[in-house]
Structure 1
Amino acid sequence: MLFSFFKRKKGKQLHTIAFYNLENLFDTIDDPDTLDDDFTPNGHKKWSPRRYKKKVNKLAKTISEIGNGSAQTPPVLVGVAEVENKTVMDDLIASEPLQGIDYGYVHYDSPDERGIDTALIYHRGSFEVLHSEPIALLVYEMDGLRDTTRDILYVHGKLNGEEVHIFVNHWPSRRSGKEETGYKRVQAAKTIREFMASLEMKIPDPNYIVMGDFNDDPSSESIQTLMESTTLYNPMEKLHSPERGSANYRRSWSLFDQIMVSHNFFNYKKGTHSFAHANIFDDRFLTEWTGKYKGSPYRTYVGRKYLGGYSDHFPVYIQLKYNG
């Protein structure tokens, strides 16, 4: 599959920027330093090379099609969560559905005890990485011990020549309760705001793209904390409804997966990008087709039961138009 149309004049099409929680993209090898035992051939989930390859191909197919209803090309940037290591990232971008796209990626190992990280996939012809680093998220349990959660991935680069500052997030989960863990996600928001403040001391009016699985909805305290005193706009607010979201838990929709942009993406100055629209990529092939969970994300596992689907999250995306 060769995407030669990436060579077309950049002002002639929309540019898709996506985020996708890949739901436990583990290789099959046991890492003695992380809690990945379930995702091995002898683990509870019987995670075999065949199942792994099938999942990689399904995820790659999805990535290649995000936003294709309105864009002429695959995504130029894709933030991902729940990837184990560089091996799975290499396998993902080398898989058949993505082979014809010149993708690279930025990834760092995080201190997460399960060994899952975030990463940013980018199209080399559209995006140039200038700098990247992991931002440590320092949150603590009530007993004072650090919760070794995912770092925040920061990437500074040029999208079609325009400088952008990207944050890829996978904030602490609600596993111990929404209210009990809320302070951790508020701290994540404050961590990004502090980092932005340091950037703004050196760079006037930076372009921000903040994406991730925030484990909170647009109206949650943590997201509102992130929006305070910043120049961010959250187009996902208008997408969340009782009938639609990016994940479904106990038949209730959430929109934990979001992409926010700074307000300077609403100008039309030559050589810049303008925000066009946002959406959830919930095409039928990504959903359960029948039964009581019809319409929900078609996931890889439910507990230990193997379904062979894609992910328990739908991707979300925005599209930008280049002002040539």
Structure 2
Amino acid sequence: MTGDLEAIPVRDDLQTIAFYNLENLFDFEDDPNTHDNDFLPRSEKKWTPKRYKNKLRKLGFAISNIGKKETGKHPAIVGLAEVENAKAIEDLIASKHLEAINYGYVHYDSLDERGIDVALLYDSDAFEVEHSESFRVHLTRDDGETDYTRDILLVSGLLDGEQIHVIANHWSSRREGAKETEHKRFAAADKVIEIINDLNIKYSNPKIVVIGDFNDDPASTSIKRMVDSLGLFNPMEVLHTYSRGTTTYNYQWNLFDQILFSTNFFEATPDTLSFDKANIFDDDFLKLLKGRYKGKPFRTYVGPKYKGGYSDHFPVYTIFKK
């Protein structure tokens, strides 16, 4: 596969924006401020330096190839979910398949109880950061205590010289049930609506890209609420089928990982970015190729059992043309 991809000519008129949930990219050192005890060398999962480096190498290989079939190059911007800290991001950037790329990153520590955050990788040769900010999603438990989750990340900057605003998300999971946790994702959707309304006041006709693991599908109420309130376009709606998505549960595909954007990306003005295509990056090397879970994401762990794969999610990507 990689030999074929290396032969693809680089398209200077195309840029890829991607999103990838990395499935618990923790380093192997104990952080007393986070719940990282599952990912230590002496834990049940035996998260050793060797396993950590193997995961970094595999994730780096996957990231370097997102959109390459169409563009001949690595993605300009990659939103990340489930990274423990800045060190894990720096180790990822320094890994075998990414070290030659001039990737920078934006990351803020959140108060998430699992100690995982969202972040943004960007190719410094293609994207220049002008402003970044993180936003807290305020949730409370039934007992009135604060329920901490991942912050939402806003990064504004110049992609090939044109200003865009990228909003990276990792909304609350469905672990306690889809209906029981729906209000948490509504709260996150409302925060995104608030951020975008502020951008619309601050900027004239801003170009906005919303990326993330939303723990909801394109047809879910939380996503529809955001799309309808803001007039966004969601190219992922047509990609979610019975046999295709980004992650699975009980043998059913979900497309929790999505990229949405403002409709001004359809304006084919000269020398500006416009939408070209969107897809799930689900090449065979990211899948289990045999057995009862054939075709599903090749994971790092299933419960405490080490499988040595990439992630329990496939990445998604959009390509913009100038």
* SS of the residue 1:70 aligns to: helix
User: Residue type of the partner of 2:108?
Assistant: Y
Q: Is the 8 A contact 2:11 2:72 kept in 1?
A: no
User: Residue type of the partner of 1:222?
Assistant: S
Aligned partner of 1:206 in structure 2 is 206
Deviates more, 1:30-39 or 1:223-232: 223-232
Residue 271 of structure 1 and its aligned partner are, at CA, apart by: 2.3
C-alpha separation in 2, matches of 1:291 and 1:102: 39
Aligned partner of 1:255 in structure 2 is 255
Provide the identity percentage.
54
C-alpha separation in 2, matches of 1:41 and 1:219: 41
Indicate yes or no: 2:188 matched with 1:188.
yes
* SS of the residue 1:229 aligns to: helix
* Alpha-carbon distance change, 9 to 313 in structure 1, aligned in 2, over 3 angstroms: closer
C-alpha separation in 2, matches of 1:144 and 1:128: 42
C-alpha separation in 2, matches of 1:271 and 1:144: 52
Indicate yes or no: 2:73 matched with 1:69.
no
Aligned partner of 1:30 in structure 2 is 30
C-alpha separation in 2, matches of 1:107 and 1:135: 12
Q: Give the 5 Å matches for 1:155-234.
A: 155-234=155-234
Q: Give the 5 Å matches for 1:114-133.
A: 114-133=114-133
Q: Which runs of 5 or more residues in structure 1 are unaligned?
A: none
* SS of the residue 2:226 aligns to: helix
Aligned partner of 2:103 in structure 1 is 103
Indicate yes or no: 2:312 matched with 1:312.
yes
* SS of the residue 2:237 aligns to: helix
* SS of the residue 1:100 aligns to: coil
Residue 107 of structure 1 and its aligned partner are, at CA, apart by: 0.4
Aligned partner of 2:240 in structure 1 is 240
Deviations 1:187-224 (A, max 9, x none): 10111111111221221111000000000000111101
Deviations 1:30-86 (A, max 9, x none): 111111101000111000000000000000000000111111111000000000001
C-alpha separation in 2, matches of 1:22 and 1:229: 30
Aligned partner of 2:154 in structure 1 is 154
C-alpha separation in 2, matches of 1:59 and 1:297: 13
Aligned partner of 1:299 in structure 2 is 299
Q: Is the 8 A contact 2:11 2:71 kept in 1?
A: no
C-alpha separation in 1, matches of 2:49 and 2:201: 49
TM-score by length of 2: 0.96
* Alpha-carbon distance change, 9 to 19 in structure 1, aligned in 2, over 3 angstroms: closer
Residue 140 of structure 1 and its aligned partner are, at CA, apart by: 1.6
C-alpha separation in 2, matches of 1:90 and 1:99: 10
Residue 229 of structure 1 and its aligned partner are, at CA, apart by: 2.3
Aligned partner of 1:283 in structure 2 is 283
* SS of the residue 2:20 aligns to: strand
Residue 111 of structure 1 and its aligned partner are, at CA, apart by: 0.4
C-alpha separation in 1, matches of 2:11 and 2:49: 41
User: Residue type of the partner of 1:150?
Assistant: R
C-alpha separation in 1, matches of 2:251 and 2:11: 44
Q: Is the 8 A contact 1:138 1:147 kept in 2?
A: yes
Residue 143 of structure 1 and its aligned partner are, at CA, apart by: 2.2
Aligned partner of 1:267 in structure 2 is 267
Residue 9 of structure 1 and its aligned partner are, at CA, apart by: 7.8
Aligned partner of 2:56 in structure 1 is 56
User: Residue type of the partner of 1:320?
Assistant: F
Deviations 1:221-265 (A, max 9, x none): 110111122131000000000100000111100000000011000
How many residue pairs are counted as aligned between the two chains? Answer: 318
User: Residue type of the partner of 1:130?
Assistant: E
C-alpha separation in 2, matches of 1:266 and 1:108: 32
User: Residue type of the partner of 1:225?
Assistant: R
Deviations 1:102-124 (A, max 9, x none): 11000010100111000000000
C-alpha separation in 2, matches of 1:62 and 1:286: 8
Q: Is the 8 A contact 1:161 1:271 kept in 2?
A: no
Q: Is the 8 A contact 1:172 1:215 kept in 2?
A: yes
C-alpha separation in 2, matches of 1:282 and 1:195: 31
